[in-house]
Amino acid sequence: MNVLYHHTVGPWMQSFLQDLGEASNLDISVVDPRDAEGLQQKLPGADVLWHVLHPFGARDIERAQNLKLIHKFGVGVNTIDVDHASMRRIAVCNMPGSNSQAVAECALNLMLSCLRHAPWVHGQTVSGQWNLQAEKVESIGELRGRTVGLVGYGGIPRILAPVLLALGSRVVYTARTEKADAEAEFMELEELLAESDIVSLHVPLTDETKLLLDRGRLALMKPEAIIINTARGGLVDQDCLYEMLESGRLAAAGLDVFSEEPVNSSEPLLRLETVVVAPHLAWHTRETLERSAHLAVENCRRLRDDEPLENQVNQF
């Protein structure tokens, strides 16, 4: 079975995939997302695509005449043309929970980085400054005593909530339905925005959630609140977010995702010292890659043995 892994790899991952392929009787090849020509050359021979983030659309699917399975490394399948895959009777699967630990840790890191003005402190220190501006230093904060609002209550918030409670935060959440086992207080979204010192997003991007935090809802947030987004950039009105951060209406933002990716270097948010950014790496740890690859191998086995696939998101 020919498997195509569509992502950038380093020496460790290259070696890991080689060993994994030999152990599982899979022919695993790699194509970098920046190599469009290489992708088009390899698609016709692929039985399975291991998909990460680079958009995979109808044109790609038509090129892959032997394709039987598109396996997302992660949860969100918004970068895959699922409808076209279904039309071609190609299964699309994802991996709920495979990256929850990594994303939860990244979200926590972004909260702490925002509270401690990490980009500004780093810049000042490496430029030779030691006695930093008192007004700025005196506004460094802690999680203890602050209300953290979690938008969504799936696998990632379930890891975050007890950690935040242990650090002394009050934790509230919103979701489509109240969760009986939640270690947090349920609120409707508008109330959560008005109550929270930090708002952290943990929902998928769908037609329903697109621009979930639009101008009106962003205006509900507390003065000098912090927003954390490790989910999808399209959840937030990015232009409005910039305006509110630039004016000081919001204190800071920790952003691992953007409305357009890769983010353009001219994006105004990148110029703000109150914004901590990463290039959609919240999910990306060695442990996540190992878990994901083993889950993907299991579905390749199921495909080969004509067994039901795990976590298939489409039907045909």
* DSSP labels, 137-177: HTT---STT-EEEEE--SHHHHHHHHHHHHTT-EEEEE-SS
Residue 240's CB is within 10 A of a number of other CB atoms, namely 19
In this predicted structure, what is the pLDDT of residue 141?
97
Q: Would the pTM count as exceeding 0.85?
A: yes
State how far the alpha carbon of 161 is from the alpha carbons of 44, 81, 127, 172, 213, in Å: 45, 33, 37, 9, 21
Whether 236 and 107 share a structural domain: yes
pLDDT, one tens digit per residue, over 213-247 is 999 999 999 999 999 999 999 999 999 999 999 99
| Two tokens, residue 294 | 């083993």
Whether 80 and 209 share a structural domain: no
Catalytic residues: 232, 261, 280
50 found inside a domain? yes
Whether 130 and 223 share a structural domain: yes
- Number of domain units in the chain: 2
In this predicted structure, what is the pLDDT of residue 139?
95
Whether 77 and 116 share a structural domain: no
Give the pLDDT band of residue 26 (cuts 50, 70, 90).
very high
312 found inside a domain? no
State how far the alpha carbon of 102 is from the alpha carbons of 30, 98, 99, 123, 153, in Å: 23, 9, 5, 26, 16
Whether 21 and 55 share a structural domain: yes
pLDDT, one tens digit per residue, over 88-134 is 999 999 999 999 999 999 999 999 999 999 999 999 999 999 999 99
pLDDT, one tens digit per residue, over 251-309 is 999 999 999 999 999 999 999 999 999 999 999 999 999 999 999 999 999 999 999 99
In this predicted structure, what is the pLDDT of residue 203?
97
Give the pLDDT band of residue 313 (cuts 50, 70, 90).
very high
Domain that holds residue 36: 2-96+284-304
Whether 114 and 255 share a structural domain: yes
The CATH number covering residue 296 comes to 3.40.50.720
DSSP state of 131: S
316 found inside a domain? no
In 25-99, alpha helices (H): 36-42, 58-63, 82-87
Mean pLDDT of 14-41: 97
Whether 105 and 39 share a structural domain: no
pLDDT, one tens digit per residue, over 33-72 is 999 999 999 999 999 999 999 999 999 999 999 999 999 9
Whether 250 and 174 share a structural domain: yes
pLDDT, one tens digit per residue, over 47-57 is 999 999 999 99
In this predicted structure, what is the pLDDT of residue 305?
97
In this predicted structure, what is the pLDDT of residue 230?
98
State how far the alpha carbon of 67 is from the alpha carbons of 12, 41, 86, 205, in Å: 27, 14, 12, 26
Residue 14's CB is within 10 A of a number of other CB atoms, namely 13
In this predicted structure, what is the pLDDT of residue 11?
97
Coil, strand, or helix at residue 51? strand
Whether 271 and 243 share a structural domain: yes
Q: What percent helix, strand, coil does the chain show, rounded to 5? A: 40, 15, 45
Whether 268 and 225 share a structural domain: yes
313 found inside a domain? no
209 found inside a domain? yes
Dihedral pair phi/psi, residue 162, rounded to 5°: -65, -30
Proportion of the chain above pLDDT 90, given as a percent = 100
Average pLDDT, the chain: 97
